[in-house]
Chains A and B, each alone.
Chain A
Amino acid sequence: MTLKSTKRKTLFAREDLVNRLLSIAKRQGRSLYSLVNEIFELVIRAEDLGVNIQTAFEERWILKNAQKDGFILVPEGLWYEMAEIAYQNSKDEALKKWFEAGVWLAKRYIEVETEEPFEAFKRSLKAYNWNMVEIMINEEDQKISIRIISPRMPETYANLYSTFVEGALNTFGYKIAKKEVSFGNIRIEAVGKES
C-alpha cells in the first residue's frame, strides 16, 4: 500500500506491547514507526478483503496442521467427481481406503496428542471441513454424536466420508450405534466400546 499522506498521528498503546514491538524493530534493524505502520497496513488490507485477521492466523494453523495430518487442499468439485467414479467402480476398495484413512488419523492423534487426542481430532475435523455448512460433534459420557451438513455433498461422498469418521471413532474406542447418510447429510451416533 502506498502512503497517501506523510502526516503523522500519535496513538497510545499498552506499554508491554509497545516494548515488545520495539525489540522486534531493533532486531530487524528498522524503526518502530515502520513496523507499526506495516502492522496497520496488514490489518486494514484484511478488513478491506472482508477477512478477519484472527481467522487468517487460525487458517495458517489449519494449513500447517493439515500437512502434519497428511491432508491436502484440492478444489471440492474435483474430488466429489473423482469420489463418484471411484465409488461406482470399486465401492469396497473405496470404502476400505476411507476407513483406513480414518484409522490412520485417529492413531496419529492418539500417539502425538497424548493428553487430549479426541479433542485435537475434533478440532482438526472441524477445521478441515470448512466447506461444510455445519459440522457438529457432541461428546457426552461415553456417547458421541456427529452431524455434518452440506447441500453440495453428493450421497456417494457422504457415504465415503462417514466411513472415514467411522474408522476414526473405532480407533478412539467407540462403536457405531446409529448411522444415517443421505445427500448432503451425515449423522452418526457412537458409544464407547466398554460402556
Chain B
Amino acid sequence: MISKSKKLVYVSESLINEAIEAARRDGKSIGSFIEESLKLALSARRTGYNLKEASDLLKVIHANRTLGGAYIPMDILNHLIKVAYKKKPKKIREKWYESGMLHGKYLKEKFEDPIRAFKTFLEAARWDLNEVEVQKDGDTIKFRCFSTILTEEGTDMLLKYVEGVFHGIGYKTIRNDHMKGMIILEFKH
C-alpha cells in the first residue's frame, strides 16, 4: 500500500529552482515532479543500473535517434554485409566510413568527452562485441575491440566505421591492425 505520509528532505537550492522550472515547463506541480523523479530513480535501481549509467545512456540514445540508428537482426546484418561486401566492396566500405565520420562529428559537437560517449554507445548497442577498450595517452588514443561472433566482413565494416568516427572527432590513424573478430587501432590528434 502506498503511504500518504510525507517526509522532509534537503535539496540544494539551485537544483530546486531548476526543478521548479522543469515542472513548470511540463505543466506539473513541483510535488508531483519530485515524486515522479524519485519513483523513476527507484525503478532504475530495481533494473540494476545506476543513475550515472542511466544519464550516459540517455545522452547516447538521444544521439542515436538523431543519427538514425535502427535495429536489425544480427543474422540479417551479417547477410547484408556479406552480399554487399562481395558485390560492391569499395562502395560499402566508403558508406560505413562516411557513416562513422558523421557520427564522430556529431559526438564532437554534442559531447564534452566524445570518445567516452562513443565507447558507451558501442558497449550499449553492439552486444556482439565482447570487449571494447579505449585508452587515452596524451594526444594518442588506442582502440581495441574483440568479438567471438563478428564475421570477417563485419570486422572490416566496423573498422571503417570506427576509423570514420575517430576521424570525425579529429584524430588521424597511426596504426591499423585487424583480423576476424579483432580490431586494434591507434589514433593521434
A contact residues vs B (CB 8 Å cutoff): 3-21, 24, 32-33, 36-47, 49-51, 53-54, 56-57, 59-63, 66-67, 69-79, 81-83, 85-86, 89-90, 93-94, 97-98, 100-101, 104-105, 128-131, 164
In the complex, chain A residues whose CB is within 8 Å of the CB of B64: 73
B69 touching A24, Cβ below 8 Å: no
Please give me the residue from chain B that is nearest to A63 by CB atom.
B124
- Known contacts A72-B127, A78-B95, A97-B76, A37 near B15 by CB under 8 Å: yes
B38 touching A21, Cβ below 8 Å: yes
Select which of A9, A15, A39, A85 is within 8 A of B3 by beta carbon. Answer: A15
- Known contacts A8-B12, A14-B4, A76 near B70 by CB under 8 Å: yes
Q: How far is the CA of A16 from the CA of B47 in the complex (A)?
A: 19
Residue pairs across A and B with Cβ atoms less than 8 A apart, 8 shown, are: A7-B13, A13-B7, A18-B38, A38-B51, A45-B58, A60-B47, A82-B80, A86-B84
In the complex, chain A residues whose CB is within 8 Å of the CB of B38: 13-14, 17-18, 21, 36, 39
In the complex, chain B residues whose CB is within 8 Å of the CB of A130: 65, 70-71
B39 touching A41, Cβ below 8 Å: no
B75 touching A97, Cβ below 8 Å: yes
In the complex, chain A residues whose CB is within 8 Å of the CB of B73: 69-72, 101, 104-105, 164
SS of A interface (majority): helix
Q: How far is the CA of A90 from the CA of B42 in the complex (A)?
A: 50
- Known contacts A56-B57, A97-B75, A72 near B83 by CB under 8 Å: no
Question: Does B6 belong to the interface (CB within 8 Å)?
Answer: yes
Question: Does B35 belong to the interface (CB within 8 Å)?
Answer: yes
Chain B residues touching A, range: 35 or more
A75 touching B69, Cβ below 8 Å: yes
SS of B interface (majority): helix
A14 touching B40, Cβ below 8 Å: no
Select which of B2, B61, B77, B84 is within 8 A of A72 by beta carbon. Answer: B77
Question: Does B88 belong to the interface (CB within 8 Å)?
Answer: yes
Select which of A11, A51, A75 is within 8 A of B34 by beta carbon. Answer: A11
Q: How far is the CB of A76 from chain B (nearest CB, A)?
A: 4
Question: Does B175 belong to the interface (CB within 8 Å)?
Answer: no
- Known contacts A49-B59, A71-B72, A41 near B83 by CB under 8 Å: no
- Known contacts A5-B12, A74-B77, A75-B103, A12 near B72 by CB under 8 Å: no
Q: How far is the CB of B168 from chain A (nearest CB, A)?
A: 13
Q: How far is the CB of A69 from chain B (nearest CB, A)?
A: 8
B71 touching A81, Cβ below 8 Å: no
Please give me the residue from chain A that is nearest to B40 by CB atom.
A53
